[in-house]
Structure 1
Amino acid sequence: MGAPERLTGVGPATVRLARIGAAVFSVGMAAFAAVPLLEALGRFPGARGAVAVLLITGLTGCYLWLGVRAVLHRSARRDLFVLATMTVLAVAMPFAAGYSWLSIGFMLPFAYAITLRGWRAWTGFFAAHVLNAVLSIGHDVNWVLFSSLQNTLTAGALAGLTIFATLLGELQRTREELARLAITEERLRFARELHDVLGHNLSVIAMRTELSMRIPASQVKRLHGELAEIHDIARRSLHDVRAVVKGYREMSLERELSGVRKVLETAGVRCDFADLPATLSPDVRVALAWAVREAATNLLRHSDATVCLLHVDTEGDRVLVTVANDGVRENDAVKSRDNVGGSGLAGLDERLTQVGGSCGRHIEDGWFTLSLDVPGRPMAATLTSATGDRK
């Protein structure tokens, strides 16, 4: 599995794991501050030792502050002040502590890498290493070279892990936003269709009603004519609304499956869809298209899913289609079960019943499964279409 496929399955749990890993690694590396602390306490009694302890403690505290905030993605302007304070402490460190201060020389480059952005982060990262090298003049060359290499690798690993955790969080937030936008875009599409159909007619009705109110009571014939025109416009509007709804419901199952797969994969959900039988009647295919769309909408709105499965079983003349996802949230699942109305999960029962099918749903081990039982071949009896007009 390549990197793009692995990143497709990134969910909230993966982001939390990356953040915890980065935080534990950063906090754990702070233990290296014990090396210069022990040296300062052992070799420099009195005021110099006290100053060294304060400098080491302050530098480590600034390092932890910036590291934890970076992992939690909570940057603020005051972080720059902390970074500046950390730089001053690092410059003063060699004059108060012994040569072992280089064991925490990775802290300042790491702080620059995670606090600044773009080229400033890279510049600060390498400038901090140069500063460490300059402050090390006079110490053993081999020790300085070894410490510099160790600090470079340590700071790079810490910064990379922290930035990676931050990017995973950004990726997850972006996918959630894309999922919300996909739902909003679909609603707006339907709203635009209704607006295009009804906007003009309703404007005409409002105008002619206003004009009718101005007709004198003595001109009954003219008033009746205006009311007849308004009535005719209203009937045409009703017909147009039915046409829009009918056109909206008569969807292509193949196109819907393709669109759902695209939306879900954009949201970071891996899709595994089985092929549906070619013997399904047009009415059944329309009902299944509605079901697939509603299942995808429910997944995006009420789950943290990373996988969506569509499985097909054939038993005689019946076809059982199951749509399942692994990210169910119990409270939202209860709400979705209680939802009523033509556009919710409960509305699928009516649509499937009208084509000779049925709908069921259940939750088990964190999986939400929508089961659709439909006839596999066109039924002999003529069934009332879900989009037909009642007379």
Structure 2
Amino acid sequence: MRVYLDNYRTTKLAPEVLAAMRPYLTKKFQLPSGLYSGALENQKKVAECRKLIAEYLNVTPEEIYFIPDASWGNRLILENIPEIFPSISKPHVLTSIIEHSSILTPLKKLEKLGRITATYLPVDKEGLIKNFSLQATSYKLQANLLSCSHFNHAIGVTPDLEKIFQLKQQDPALKIHLNAEFSFGKIKYDLQKMPLDFLTASADKFHGPQGIGLMYARKPFQFSFQKEIDDTTNIAGIVGLTKAVELCQLPVASCQLPVYFWNKLQKEIPHLELNGSLEYRDFYNLNVTFKGIEGEALALRLNLEGIAVSTGSACAQKNLQSDYVIIALGKPYEDSHGSLRFTFSRYTTQKELDYTVGKLKKIVRELRAISPL
């Protein structure tokens, strides 16, 4: 059996999405920048897709941009902070120390260049920013922009958006950027009711194609790059993204299977620890520490059994560095290397989860028997 439990990295392409894309991969492949009939038809198709996505988010089509992915959009927004606040010499940005690298990296770059100032708020042992800390810091530093993810990439915890929105009520000039890369498709966003100024999402995180995403920027601010993107646009990707957004309107699967998996794990395997808040989280992301075991060894053994998982956050795996998110929770170094991230999708089955727990139980017992930890 092959089991895929790394859906925060990318998800399976929905059959309906592939069917919608197929004509644009074969016969209707023309770029919209041409002056011939096929290109002109695809210009209309891009406009139609933008309109459908705008309706889903309850915004205007002019506020929707097609981008390569959410990380690209996050970097674009944050690298343009000086342009977003042209009358402020050094805009101040609030974020947290456990944010995605596509948020932290551009902020630190702009800080180094002396173009912004930033505050990286700490989190508690559950990965949450305490409300009083957020409010006090916002008032004291007169923040111009707050940038955060709806679901954390590593541990799935979610900030209290209502408390964040209250900050905007108290200071209407505050702008809010939300990275919805891992929440889009699970959360319905009505951007007329949510005081967000920027939002990003990746199609491949909700069963759309890889290499395409969407970005929302509230008017009157406008990015100038869209014409260049449209002229060399990924027409099949945009069609697939739009179909995936349409599928988001179907009922969202419940958390029953992830909860079942976590309960069975605890019953079958001792010395486990769930990383992040049990209450404020996306249950489709379970980041679990297996005490006394190297996560890489466990992931490699699972792979031999046909089970795909992630060790901690995907961003920390390339050079086997400690997962900075786990460290930020106050966990010891060993825990950061002993965690696995199980992420689920609408296609995950109970049979797959039973198989995974069975293999985990055997592998954990064998690895602990030889572990020096």
TM category (shorter chain) comes to: under 0.3
**TM-score, length of structure 1 as denominator length:** 0.25
Task: Provide the TM-score with structure 2 as the length reference.
Answer: 0.26
Instruction: Select the structure that is richer in helix.
Output: 1
| More strand per residue | 2
